[in-house]
Amino acid sequence: MFGYGWLVLIAPLLGFLSLSCLGKRIPRSIAGYLGCATVGFAFFISLILLVHLSVLEPEERVGGAQALYTWIDSGQFHLDFAILIDPLSVFMFLIVTGVGFLIHVYSLGYMEHDPEFKRFFAYLNLFIFSMCVLVSAADFFFLIVGWALVGLASYLLIGFWRDKPSAVLAARKAFVMNVIGDVGMLVAAFMIFETFGSLSYQKVFEMAPTMFLANDMNMILITLFLLVGAFAKSAQLPLHTWLPDAMEGPTPVSALIHAATMVTAGVYLVARCHTLFELAPFTMYVIATVGIITATFAGTIAMVQTDIKRVIAYSTMSQLGYMFLAVGLGMFSFGMFHLMTHAFFKALLFLGAGSVIHSLNEEQDIRKMGGLAKAMPVTYITFLIGSLALAGFPLTSGFFSKEAIIMGAYHSEMGNILFWGLAVFTAGMTAFYTFRLFFCVFQGDLRTPDAHPHESPVTMTGPLVILGFFALAAGVLGPWVDSFLSPVFGGHAEHYQDGFLETIAVFVGLGGIMTAGLLYMVRSDKIEPIKEALAPIQEILFHKYYVDEIYDFLIVKPVKAISVFLEDMGEKKGVDFAVDQVGEQVREVSKYVSLWQSGRIRDYAVNMVAGMALVLIFVAFL
Amino acid sequence: MLFFIVFIPLVASAALWAMDKDSVAPVRSIALGGTGLCLLFSVFLLFGFESENNGMQFVAGLTWVESLNINLKFGIDGISLWLVILTAFLGVIAVIYSTSQKNDQQREFLALLLALETGILGVFVSLDTISFYVFWELMLIPSYFIIGLWGEGNRIYATTKFVLFTLVGSLLMLVAILALTLEYHTATHEWSFDIDTLSHMHLDDGTQLWMFLCFFLAFAIKVPMFPLHSWLPHAYKSCPIPALILITGAMSKAGAYGMIRFCLPLFPSAIESLALLIGACAAGGMVYGAWIAVMQKDLKSLVAYSSISHLGFIVLGIFSYNSQGVEGSVLQMVNHGIIASALFIIVGIIESKMGTRQLDKLKGMGTPMPVLYGMFMLLALAALGLPGLNGFVGEFLILAGVWTSVTLSDMAAIYVLMGGAAIVFASIYMLYMFQGAMQEKNEDLPKDLEDINCAQFGVLLPACILVVFIGLYPKPFVDRIGPSVDSALHAEKTVNLPSAEDASSHH
C-alpha cells in the first residue's frame, strides 16, 4: 500500500551516489540543484504519504511495514530490509525532508564560493537518506543502521572543512561519542533479540505488554541501554560534549543536523519505543530527570557564551532536555510537537546566524557584532521571530509547545514541583540568553568598524522567511499533531490547564527578555558591580563547568597512557620477552645437552649402558 | 575442479622457476595468468554450488598411501567455498600489486607467492587430515623465505620467530592427528584420515581435552590469538605488502578455519569445558589489540594490531558455539580478508608516495588525492564496523551469537561489552589513521603528488564494491555458510570406542 514510500529514501540516496561517484562529470552549476531536487522530491512524496494516511481510518494507519528484500537469514535470525510507514515516521519524514529542503536551498547561497561545493551537497543528501532510514526503520537492526549512518553524515559534515585541525578533531569527537551510543543500542538489540526472539518493532511491541509487568528488570535494562544511544545522539548529559564542538561544521549543517533533525533522534527513539518505556517507569523517571537537568545545565552555559553558534548550540541541548522531559513524563505527542516547533525556530536561528556570519566574513564572536538591523532587514525580522519563539513569547509556536510541557511537568502523573520549577527557571534563562544574543547582534552599533554587512541573497533569505512563518504560526498545529500521532501512541496526551502556573511561566519569560534588554540595551553603569560579583560563576559557566577538561583527565589521558603501557609492558617486556626467553633457555639447555655429544664412541657406549640399566631398573620395579 | 584451483598456482610457480631470470614481461603474465585462472575456476564454483546442501561438494580424491588409507581428498562446503574464493581473489590482487612495484627479484618473489597461494588453498579444501597437514606446512615455507629475503627491518628475527612459533603448533597438531587415527583404528580396525569419518567418532572427555588442546594451540598460534600473537607484529611489520595481502587476508584465516573444521565437530565436550577460558583470551585479545592500536604511529603496525583485535572477534564467535556466532565468524573472516588486505595496500601506496608510513609525518594527502581519500575512508569505515558496511554484519552476528551463547553464558554479557569497547577503540584508531594521513592542511606535500593510478585503483575497487555489497546484502553469503555451520555444530557421533561397543555386544 505504501510501497512508493521507498522513494523518500531512494531519491536522496541517488543524489548522494551521483554527486559523490560521478565526480567531474556533473558540472558544478547543476550539482547544487540536483542536491536540492532530490530532497524536494522526497518532501513531495512525504506530503503524498501524509494525505494517504489522513484518508485512512485511524486504526489502519499503523503497522504498514514495506519489505524490500530479505537482508539475512541465519538460524532463528531473520531480517527484512523494510520501512515502516505510519503517522510517526511520516511526521518525521515531513520535518526531515521539509526543513532539509529549505536548508539545501539555503546552502546554495551559503556555500556558493566553497571550492568543495559538490562534496557538501553529496554529504547533505547522504544525511537526508540516513535520517530517513532511521525514522522509517521497521526493526531495531535498521534503526541502528540509520542511527550510525546519520552519525557518519554528521561526522563528514562537521569535518567538512578538513583543512582545519579543530574541525577534524571535533568530527572525531562526535563520531567516537556516537559510537559509544551505538554500542549501547547494539547491546539493547541483543537483549531484545534474546527476550523476544525478534527485532521487528511490530512483534516486540505486541509481545512486551503481555510478557512483562511494569518495572521488570529486563525491561529496565533494555530501555536503559537504548537510552545510552538516545543520550549520545541527542547530546544529553553526560554524553553531550560533542555537540558544541560540532559547530565547527558549516552553519547549514548545524541548522539541519545539530538542531532540527539528527539530534532529535533520541526523542524519536523514546517515542517510537514508548511501549517498552512505559513498561519501565523507572527509566521514564531517569529520562525526565536527565532531560530537565540537561535543560538547566545547558541553559546556564548558554548565558555566557560569546560565539553566536555556541549559544544556539547550548540552547539546542537545553531544548532537547525539554523534549526528553516531555517524553519521560509520558507526554509523547507533546515531545514530538516541541520537536517540530523547535525544528522550525532553531533551524531559523541557525540559518539567521549563518546569514550574519556570512555577511561579516566568518565572524562568530557576538562581542564584535551589533547594529545589523538596518543592514540586514530580512535576517533581522526573521531572527526576531525565531528568538521570540525560542523564548516562548505568547502566541508564537514555541510558546504553545513549551507551555504544554511545563504544565505537564507539574500536573502529569510523575510531574512534581521540582520539575516544574526547573522548567520555568530554564524558560527564563532561555528568554534571557536568546535576547542577549539578539540585542548584541542586531541592536546598538557595529563593533567591527571595517566590516561591511550586507543582506544575503534570496536563496538564503527565502528559506528564512518560510521558516519564520512556521516558527510564528506552527503553534496552531498542536492539536493536529496530537490527533495525527494518537494511533501510534495509543491515545491522546492530556493538555493541562492551570491559569496561575501559566501566568507565572509567561512572566518569567518576559522577565528574561527584559533583563537581557536592561543589561545589553541600556548598558547602565549600575550593573557593573553585579557583573563583577558574578565573575567567578561566569568563569565556570564560560568553561562549560570544565567537563571537557574533566573527561580529558579521567578518560582520554588514561586511555592513551594505558595504550602506551600495554605496548611497552604487555608487548615488549611481556609477551615478546617471554617468548624470546623460551628461545634463550632452550639454547642454554642445548649447550649442556650438546656436551653429551662428545663424538667419542667410548662416551656413547657408557651412556648407552647407563640408559639401558635405567630402563631395566624402571621395568623391574614398576 | 578443485585440483585445478589448488595446483594451477603451483604449476605457474614451477614455470616461473624455469623462466629466464631477466624476462620481466613473461614473468608477469605467467603469474597473473596462473592466479587469474585460479580465480576464474573458483568463481565457477559459485555456480555449481548447491546452497541447501550441507555436505561436501566437488569432492575429488587421489589415493596417496593405500595401506594406510591416506588420500589427497579435496572438497568444499559453504565455509570453505568463500575462503577459497577469497584466497584466489587475493592472489590476483597480490600479483597485480607486486608487479606494479619495483623488485629486482620479481621472478623468485612471485614464484614463492604462488606457492604460498597453493598452500593456503590446499588447507581450505583438504578433507584428509594428512593432506591438510602437508598443505599447512607448505604455507610456512614460502612465507619464511618471503619475509626472510624481502622483508624490512629485523627480518631474520621476525621470520625465525614466526616459523618457530608456527612449527611448535603444527607439530602438536601432527601428534593429535596421528592419535586421532589410532583411536579410530582401535574402534573399527580400519585406517582412516578422513576428517568427516573421524568426526563421527565418539571420544571420551579426557581424550577430547588433550587432542583439542593440541589442535587448538596450532590454530590459535596461526590465527594468532592473544596471548600467542607475539610473532604477528614483527612478521607483519617486516613482511613486504604483496605477500602481506595473502598472509593477513587468507593465511591468518587458516587457523580460524581449522578451529571450525576440526575443533567444532571433533571435540564438543572439550569445547564446552574450555569455551569460557578461550572466550576470555579472545575477548581479551579484542580489547588488547585495539587498545594498543590506538597509539600506534606506524601505519603498518596499526593495521597489524587492529588485525589482532578483529581476529579476536572471529575466535570468540566460533566459541559461542551457536549458528549465529559461527556464521558471523566465517563471514567476518571474509570481511577481514578484504578489508585488512586493502588497508595494507593503502599503507603501501602511502609509503611509496610519501616515503614514510609514520603517522606523525603524514598529513593532508586527501586534497590532491580525492580518489584515494574516498576509498580509504570507505575501507576505514568498514574496518571500524560502520553499520551498512560488511564489517558490521560479521560483528553483529558474532556478538549476537555470543550474547545468546550457552557455552559462554556466564560471561556472555561481559564479552559482548568487551566487544563493544573494541568497537569504540576501533573507531578511534581508524579515524586517527584516516584523518591523520588524509586531512588537515599540509604545505610540505610534494608538488607532483598524483592520485592513485589505474592499477592501484583496480586493486582497491573490488574491495570497495564487496565492502558495500556484503554490508547491504549479506544473505547470499550467509545462506551458503549456514547449512555447513549447522552440520559442523551438530556432528553425529555414530562410531563408538571399543569399550562402549563391547558393553553393548554383551547384552
B506: pLDDT strictly greater than 50: no
Cell digits of residue A142: 535498521
Q: Do A563 and B294 touch (CB under 8 A)?
A: yes
Question: What residues of A are in contact with residue B435 (Cβ under 8 Å)?
Answer: 159, 162, 168, 171-172
Q: Is A595 on the interface with B (CB under 8 A)?
A: no
User: Has residue B88 been placed in a domain?
Assistant: no
Q: Which residues partner with A66 through β-bridges?
A: A83
Nearest Cα neighbor of A439 from A350, A534, A376, A519 is: A519
Of A235, A368, A213, A212, nearest to A290 by C-alpha is: A235
Nine-digit cell string for A348: 531559523
Contacts of B165 in chain A (CB under 8 A): 579
Residue B403 Cα, gap to closest chain A Cα (Å): 7
For residues A377 and A455, is the Cβ–Cβ distance under 8 A?
Answer: yes
Q: What is the pLDDT of residues B306-351, one digit of tens each?
A: 998 999 999 999 998 888 889 899 999 999 999 999 999 999 888 8
Cβ neighbours around B402 below 10 Å, total: 33
Q: Which positions ≥6 away from A551 have C-beta within 8 Å?
A: A241
C-beta separation of A436 from A516 below 8 A: yes
Rounded Cα–Cα distance for residues A178 and A155 (Å): 10
Q: Could you say which residues of chain A have pLDDT below 70?
A: 23, 75, 523-527, 596, 598, 622
Q: Is B13 contained in some domain?
A: no
Q: Are A84 and A3 in contact (CB under 8 A)?
A: no
A 133-162 residues inside an 8 A Cβ radius of B: 141, 144-145, 147-149, 152, 159, 162
The confidence band for B201, taking pLDDT boundaries of 50, 70 and 90, is: confident
Q: Give A454-457 contacts, CB < 8 A, sequence gap 24+.
A: A454/A359, A454/A375, A454/A376, A455/A359, A455/A375, A455/A376, A455/A377, A455/A378, A455/A379, A456/A109, A456/A110, A456/A355, A456/A358, A456/A359, A456/A376, A456/A378, A456/A379, A457/A109, A457/A112
CB-based contact A171 B400, cutoff 8 Å: no
Query: What gap in Å lies between CA B243 and CA B151, rounded to an integer?
Result: 10
Residue indicated by cell numbers 588486505? B341
Average pLDDT, chain A: 84
Q: Under DSSP, is residue B298 helix (H, G, I), strand (E, B) or coil?
A: strand
B296/chain A closest Cα distance in angstroms: 9
What pLDDT, on the 0 to 100 scale, is given for residue A333?
Answer: 85
Contacts of B431 in chain A (CB under 8 A): 172, 175-176
**Cross-chain residue pair A186–B367, CB shorter than 8 Å:** no
Residue of chain A minimizing CA distance to B328: A74
In a domain, B317, yes or no: yes
Q: Which residues of A144-156 are buried (b: 16+ CB within 10 A; e: fewer)?
A: bbbbbbbbbbbbb
A528-581 pLDDT, tens digit per residue, is 777 777 778 777 777 778 887 888 788 778 778 777 777 777 777 777 777 777
Domain of residue B378: give its range. 267-472
The answer to whether the Cβ–Cβ distance between A570 and B473 falls below 8 Å is no
Contact yes or no for A564/B291 (Cβ under 8 A): no
| B212 domain-assigned | no
Q: Identify all chain B residues contacting A191, using CB atoms and an 8 Å cutoff.
A: 403
User: CB count, 10 Å around CB of A612?
Assistant: 10
Please state at what angle helix B299-318 crosses helix B268-294, rounded to 10 degrees.
160
- DSSP letters, A303-342, are TT--BHHHHHHHHHHHHHHHHHHHHHTT-HHHHHHHHHHH
Cell numbers that stand for B235 in this block:
612478521
The 3-state DSSP class for residue B126 equals strand
pLDDT tens digits for range A112-167:
888 888 888 889 999 999 999 999 888 888 899 999 999 899 998 988 888 888 88
Beta bridge partners of B60: B74
Is residue B49 assigned to a domain?
Answer: no
Query: Which grid coordinates belong to A9?
Result: 529514501
What the block records as the C-alpha cell of A460 is: 538564503
Spatial separation of the C-alpha atoms in residues B149 and B130, rounded to whole Å: 29
List Cα–Cα distances, B162 to A570, B268, B343, in angstroms. 19, 30, 22
Q: Are B140 and B118 in contact (CB under 8 A)?
A: no
pLDDT for B284 beyond 70: yes
Over chain B, what is the mean pLDDT? 85
From B255's Cα to the closest Cα of chain A, the distance in A is 20
Q: How many domains does chain B have?
A: 1
A565 by Cβ neighbours in 10 Å (0-12 / 13-18 / 19+) ranks as middle
> In whole angstroms, what is the distance from residue B413 CA to residue B406 CA?
12
B341/B353 Cα distance (integer angstroms): 18
Rounded to 10 deg, the angle between the B268-294 and B205-222 helix axes is 20
In angstroms, what separates the C-alpha of A575 from chain B's closest C-alpha?
A: 6
Which helix (H) or strand (E) segment holds residue A130: the answer is helix A117-136
**pLDDT at residue B498, rounded to an integer:** 56
Sign of the Cα torsion A519, A525, A531, A533 reads negative
Cross-chain residue pair B416–A72, CB shorter than 8 Å: no
Write the ipTM. 0.85
* Residue B33 touches partner A, C-beta closer than 8 Å: no
Interchain contact, B404 vs A194, CB within 8 Å: yes
- Contact between B1 and B44 (Cβ < 8 Å): yes
Q: What are phi and psi of B489, to 5 degrees?
A: -75, -25
d(CA A397, CA A404): 11
Q: Would you say residue B299 lies in a domain? A: yes
Q: Is B460 on the interface with A (CB under 8 A)?
A: no
Cell numbers describing residue A63? 503497522
pLDDT per residue over B246-275, tens digit each? 888 888 899 899 998 888 888 888 888 888
As a whole number of Å, the CA-based R_g of chain A is 30
CA B243 to chain centre: 13
Rounded CA separation B224/B57 (Å):
29
Task: At A23, give phi and psi (nearest 5°).
Answer: 55, -120
Question: C-alpha grid cell for residue B391?
Answer: 564489517
Within an 8 Å CB–CB cutoff, is residue A561 touching chain B? no
B227–A contact, CB cutoff 8 A: yes
Strands B57-65 and B70-76: antiparallel
Residue B477 lies in a domain: no
Report CA torsion sign: B475, B477, B483, B485. negative
Geometric angle at alpha carbon A436, from A433 and A437, rounded to 5°: 90
Average pLDDT over residues B442-447: 76
Does some domain include residue B391? yes
B 398-427: CB under 8 A from A:
399-400, 403-404, 416-417, 420-421, 423-424, 427
pTM of the model: 0.87
Instruction: Report d(CA A320, CA A324) in Å as an integer.
Output: 6
CA end-to-end span of chain A: 86
pLDDT at A130: 92
User: How far apart, in whole angstroms, are the C-alpha atoms of residue B217 and residue B222?
Assistant: 8
